[in-house]
Amino acid sequence: MRRKRQSEAYKMKVVEEALQGGNFSHTARKHDLNPESVRVWVREYRDSLAVEKKEVAEGPIPEEDYELKYNRAMKILGEKEVELEILRELLKMPNPAYPKR
């Protein structure tokens, strides 16, 4: 059987109806859908609400945090530049462990 693609608006309508009625199977039968599809849509809806609430609760990041992260990144970048320079110098050195043939 071919899979049907439902619009987001239709999914939201079914999810709201399922949450109000409390019986996913009844809502699924009413709309001629698989009950598992309704459960998945409700789960996705709840997950999206949880993410939105988390983003609102965290609020904007203070400027001090940006400065701290920037300073850490610059320190790491400096260390990487030093490491890269050391490795380049090592590549220029002859390696006695592997004599040329």
Where do we find the tokens 């439902």? 6
Q: Is the model more confident about 101 or about 80? A: 80
pLDDT of 81 reads: 96
Residue 9, pLDDT > 70, answer: yes
Predicted structure pTM score: 0.50
DSSP 7-36: PHHHHHHHHHHHHHH--HHHHHHHTT--HH
Which tens digits make up the pLDDT trace of 51-74? 777 666 666 677 888 899 999 999
Helix (H, G, I), strand (E, B) or coil at 3: coil
Q: Residues 12, 3: contact at Cβ < 8 Å?
A: no
Distances (CA, A) of 79 to 67, 75, 91, 98: 18, 6, 19, 29
